[in-house]
Amino acid sequence: MRTLINELAKLPGIGPKTAQRLAFHLFTTPREEVQKLATAMLETKDQLTFCTICGHLTEESPCLLCRDPGRDHALLCVVEEPKDVIALEKTREFKGVYHVLHGALSPLEGIGPEELTINKLLERLQTGKIREVILACDPNMEGEATAQYLARIIKPLEVKVTRLARGLPVGGDLEYIDEVTLGKALEGRQEI
Amino acid sequence: MYLEKFKLRNFRNYHSAEVVLSPRINVLYGKNGQGKTNFLEAVSFLTLGCSFRTKRDEELPRHEENGFYLKGEFLDDEESLTLEVGTDLNRILVKINGVEYKSKRSLFGRVRTVIFTPDDLQLIKDGPEKRREYLDLYLAQVYPEYRQHYHQFYRALFQRNSLLKKFREGFRDFRELEIWTEQMIAEGSQVIYLRLKAIEDISPWVNRYHQLMSQEQESLSINYKLAGERVPSLPVSTVQDKLRTVLERRKNEEILRGYSLVGPHRDDLILLLNREWEMRVYGSQGQQRTAALAMKLAMVDLIKKTHGVPPLLLLDDVFSEFDDDRKKELLRVLTEGTQTIISTAEERDFLNFGAELKSFRVENGVIYD
């Protein structure tokens, strides 16, 4: 039991108390259910790899997105993590392809350009098939720094570089939005 | 917004106390060591989320208690606000109008507060750090965006310092350094811009208060020193350009030392007596105390001007070193509308103040009306 609790507590977002609760829950769950969970975990680990083109998670490389002829392969969206790809796919707005950096620049955590998949991104751009790169890094300081860094190295390649707008959440109240976000939204206003 | 009712339990030398305050001037009098400053400390903890005497909250509960509890009921024409904070060993619980919050930081800024204590002499005497702390504590209350830019600036600074350290170890990517420099400039220039704007606003008040308290004998000017150079109020873009130029000039030195040498974290205020004598070096203890108080009172005006409502003013033992004339002037200033809580050893200083004043005798952790 102690081993199980310790292992569960290593997971992100799980503290010792939650780990203990989960462990007891598993103990009272029927064996088949636990078996299913264990199998799913192992299968995920064994069968998923990173796509050799975009770096997204996939069972088979290249991934489905990279192999899809219906998508616009000249439009490339750069994101920090595979979970960002999933978030963007949920919007159904984006029909291009992706590039996953696997992180953002953060000297404090020892993450520099070498630790990200920037060289691979440059290789993709040098094929000359890409028309526009959309930088979709997180809207925090590290994401901003990463986007600025990428913009500087992509610009000389004469590829159009854009970035996601920063602004107001849909369904929000103007009066409750923090000053900095509201300021950015004003900055990025559009003519209608 | 003024503090109407204040309750404290197991805080410093108080077991349990509850007082109803005047919306104008409140005087706490009593011998030293009875709990006057503790009372002011408790009020400021509730409105700022921290003590002005210690960074260690575990020093605050009464002897042999594990925690303390404070509750303040604030009122103005339109609304009421109740702030509560309770601690128990390492746990803290904040309630704002009955809604629970986990961090004491959420207390900050709800009721703007200006504090003056005898230690504020350090504001003039000590190094630049104290003067930056003064700017940061009050500007975060004056401009809501100040805090955000300030935290973002520090995040960029730590990232950049971390990269500069790597440069010392031989790893060098100048493009990456440039990016972090730009992030630091973007946030740092906003911080400096707001500081300059505030200094421009408060400087006539600083001078006026200093003159009042020196019976028109002396003038006091306050200026901001950006990277060692005295500058007036400037637009953000000019601040950015200035920062960029100085950072470029000192880049090699920064790489050599492994940390950032330019930015709002290194800036200072300079206070001049009669336009030429630096207060820190040439001011007497009395002049320095007057200057520090003038800087604090000017913040009261800045808050009044920006938000339309005066802050709560806490004055700990301000009268101890002022002569009678200065005391009189100061009291006159205080009658201008701000709710004030003053601690003093000498009740007679306030005898002629009439109905607007409420006084409390503090004795051994008990408050008598």
**Domain containing B342 — which CATH number?**
3.40.50.300
Whether B52 is covered by a domain: the verdict is: yes
Question: A107 vs B175: CB contact, 8 Å cut-off?
Answer: no
Question: B145 vs A183: CB contact, 8 Å cut-off?
Answer: yes
Which pLDDT score, from 0 to 100, does residue A151 have? Answer: 95
Are B163 and B23 in the same domain? Answer: no
Grade residue A80 by pLDDT with cuts at 50, 70 and 90: very high
How confident is the model over A33-40, as a mean pLDDT? 94
Are B103 and B187 in the same domain? Answer: no
Are A109 and A154 in the same domain? Answer: yes
Whether B345 is covered by a domain: the verdict is: yes
Residues of A in contact with B179 (CB under 8 A): 105, 145, 148-149, 152
Asked if pLDDT for residue B172 goes beyond 90, the answer is no
Beta bridge partners of B163: none
Which among A148, A153, A183 has CB closest to B182? A148
As a whole number of angstroms, the distance between CA A19 and CA A22 comes to: 5
Compute chain B's Rg from CA coordinates. 22
Q: A110 to chain B nearest CA, in Å?
A: 9
Which pLDDT score, from 0 to 100, does residue B324 have? Answer: 74
Whether A53 is covered by a domain: the verdict is: no
Are B244 and B161 in the same domain? Answer: yes
Are B107 and B152 in the same domain? Answer: no
Whether A97 is covered by a domain: the verdict is: yes
Q: At B358, is the secondary structure helix, strand, or coil?
A: strand
Distance between first and last Cα of chain B: 22
CA distances from A55 to A69, A150, B13, B265 (A): 18, 17, 62, 40
Asked if pLDDT for residue B281 goes beyond 90, the answer is yes
Complex ipTM > 0.95: no
Whether A36 is covered by a domain: the verdict is: yes
Residue-wise pLDDT tens digits, B247-272: 999 999 999 999 999 999 999 999 99
3-state helix, strand, coil in chain A (%, to 5): 50, 15, 35
Whether A60 is covered by a domain: the verdict is: no
Q: A86 to chain B nearest CA, in Å?
A: 28
Are B137 and B200 in the same domain? Answer: yes
Residue of B179, B190, B259 to mutate, testing the A interface (most A Cβ within 10 Å of its Cβ): B179
Are A6 and A76 in the same domain? Answer: no
Whether B167 is covered by a domain: the verdict is: yes
Q: How many CB atoms lie within 10 A of CB B90?
A: 9
Domains in chain A, number: 2
Which among A108, A145, A178 has CB closest to B183? A145
Which pLDDT score, from 0 to 100, does residue B1 have? Answer: 87
Beta bridge partners of B268: B225
Which among A108, A113, A144 has CB closest to B162? A108
How confident is the model over B202-222, as a mean pLDDT? 90
Whether A170 is covered by a domain: the verdict is: no
Are B38 and B136 in the same domain? Answer: no
Are A79 and A152 in the same domain? Answer: yes
Question: What residue type is assigned to position B332 of the chain?
Answer: R
Are B240 and B352 in the same domain? Answer: no
Are A22 and A90 in the same domain? Answer: no
Residues of B in contact with A113 (CB under 8 A): 173, 175-176
Question: B152 vs A149: CB contact, 8 Å cut-off?
Answer: no
Whether B351 is covered by a domain: the verdict is: yes
Which CATH number is A142's domain given? 3.40.1360.10
Whether A57 is covered by a domain: the verdict is: no
Whether B301 is covered by a domain: the verdict is: no
Are A159 and A71 in the same domain? Answer: yes
**Closest residue in chain B to residue A180, using alpha carbons only:** B145
Whether A17 is covered by a domain: the verdict is: yes
Which CATH number is B255's domain given? 1.20.1050.90
State which residues form the domain around B158: 124-280
Are A97 and A29 in the same domain? Answer: no
Chain A residues within 8 angstroms (CB to CB) of chain B: 105-108, 112-113, 141-142, 144-145, 148-149, 152-153, 178-180, 183
Whether B15 is covered by a domain: the verdict is: yes
Residues of A in contact with B162 (CB under 8 A): 107-108
Are A98 and A145 in the same domain? Answer: yes
Chain B residues within 8 angstroms (CB to CB) of chain A: 144-145, 148-149, 152, 155-156, 158-160, 162-163, 166, 171, 173, 175-176, 178-180, 182-183, 187
Whether B303 is covered by a domain: the verdict is: no
Q: B90 to chain A nearest CA, in Å?
A: 18
Residues of A in contact with B166 (CB under 8 A): 107, 112
Which CATH number is A6's domain given? 1.10.8.420
Are B59 and B133 in the same domain? Answer: no
CB pairs under 8 A between A and B: 52
Question: A112 vs B173: CB contact, 8 Å cut-off?
Answer: yes
Residue of A141, A150, A177 to mutate, testing the B interface (most B Cβ within 10 Å of its Cβ): A141
Global confidence as pTM: 0.87
State which residues form the domain around A128: 65-163
- In the structure encoding, which two tokens stand for residue B327, read together? 């005391």
Which among B162, B176, B183 has CB closest to A141? B183
Are B129 and B220 in the same domain? Answer: yes
Whether B287 is covered by a domain: the verdict is: no
Domains in chain B, number: 2
Asked if pLDDT for residue B319 goes beyond 80, the answer is no
Whether A136 is covered by a domain: the verdict is: yes
Asked if pLDDT for residue B352 goes beyond 70, the answer is no
Grade residue B353 by pLDDT with cuts at 50, 70 and 90: low
- H helices present in B106-233, as ranges: 122-125, 128-142, 144-168, 174-213
